[in-house]
Amino acid sequence: MITSTESVKKEKNYLIQLDGLRFLAVTLVMVDHWLGERNGLPLGYFGVNLFFVLSGFLITRILITSKLNDERQGRSHGHSLRQFYIRRSLRIFPVYYLTILVLALIGFPAVREHLGWLLTYTQNLWIAIHQTWLGAIDHLWSLAVEEQYYIFFPFLVFMIPTRNLFRMLVWLISVSILLRMYLFMTGVHWTVQFVMMPTCLDAFGMGGILAHLLVFRKEQFTRIANSNRYLLIGFLLYAFNLYMAVTGAPDRSFFTDVFDRFVTSLFCFFIIGRGVVGYGGLMKRVLENPLSNYLGRISYGLYLFHNLVFNAYHTPSDFITVRALNRLMREMPFLSHPAVEPVAMLLFFYGLTVLLASLSWMVIENPANRLKDRFAYDRS
């Protein structure tokens, strides 16, 4: 329980820095999708995994805390389950379904043809079955993964005895790695392990372990999160796997299809842990900057809209945003210089995406978010 003024300040600091990490995660994804082949690093993959681990941490912490509150008050877990799903629905569904509806009405590529999959958050299953992508709505696979995780994971937390939660999280991580190993060894196309929810569970599980440590083993959590050594080890493991994945042959290997998500998630585990206790120095200034904080708050909209604004692989040259960029460069020729053009492009599309996400936040997301106050986990 947080009782001291110092602890309250740390809690606020934690929230600010996690919003900053959301900003970094969504920025990595957007830059990756906008640069396309001009970028040789898996920035988007890292950003999505950072989101997965962060979701695992936040959701598990909420669920464990709610479970303990239920037990203290002698009530069933049905109350917390109901509140969880109502609050999640208010946060996620309004802008998502409105976006899908508008895209279907204007005939945006691939939306009408796959409307049933999109409405049921099963677009990742379509990708896995057909082993191909969906064009400019490719990125919605990760939202499907998160929704599928939300469907079953709360029941696990509430049904399994509290003393067994840590082992359950370790089991989820192990099953996910073993499943990716099986898919790789049996020659299944790499897109299957990339987009399926069970093969992403080690990312969510790592976040869950972080939450479990924070709730039940606070001193151990603080020691791990404050350790530069652990953070460095996580980075070195990630860097080694990245080197092997990028330089190795063939293109798909154990490093890309089996180890990558776990090693990336482990590094994210330490990054998020440090964000909870609070970074210092330059990182603190970046993560707690008001602009970073705001962009982190609207990161859901940024993620949802960025591929619709532009995607290096799928957006046609006559699309309205591309035409607008080309006109800007004609009006300001220095922006077409090879050293300037990529930066100008990124800033232009970033600005458009922030504009859309800000409008979405003000008109749709924030009003829906305020309704969550009516469905608090514990009003006492």
pLDDT digits (tens, 9 = 90+) for 224-237: 999 999 999 999 99
Whether residue 49 contacts residue 55, with contact meaning beta carbons closer than 8 Å, is answered with: no
Percent of the chain whose pLDDT exceeds 90: 88
Q: What is the pTM of this model?
A: 0.94
Across residues 273-295, what is the average pLDDT?
95
201 has a pLDDT exceeding 60: yes
Q: What is the pLDDT of residue 249?
A: 65
Q: What is the pLDDT of residue 1?
A: 34
CA distance 261 to 25: 15
Q: What is the pLDDT of residue 13?
A: 37
Q: What is the pLDDT of residue 9?
A: 38
The CA–CA distances, whole Å, from 213 to 43, 51, 115, 206, 249 equal 28, 19, 41, 11, 39
The candidate with the shortest Cα–Cα distance to 88, out of 362, 372, 374, is 372
Q: What is the pLDDT of residue 253?
A: 87
Binned at pLDDT 50, 70 and 90, residue 379 comes out as low
Binned at pLDDT 50, 70 and 90, residue 2 comes out as very low
Q: What is the pLDDT of residue 251?
A: 78
The candidate with the shortest Cα–Cα distance to 270, out of 331, 324, 339, 224, is 224
3-state secondary structure of 181: helix
Model pLDDT for residues 310-352, shown as the tens digit of each residue: 999 999 999 999 999 999 999 999 999 999 999 999 999 999 9
Model pLDDT for residues 188-200, shown as the tens digit of each residue: 999 999 999 999 9
3-state secondary structure of 224: helix
Model pLDDT for residues 355-368, shown as the tens digit of each residue: 999 999 999 999 99
The CA–CA distances, whole Å, from 366 to 18, 22, 59 equal 18, 17, 20
Across residues 266-273, what is the average pLDDT?
98
Q: What is the pLDDT of residue 339?
A: 92
Rounded to the nearest integer, the mean pLDDT of the chain is: 93
Across residues 143-169, what is the average pLDDT?
96
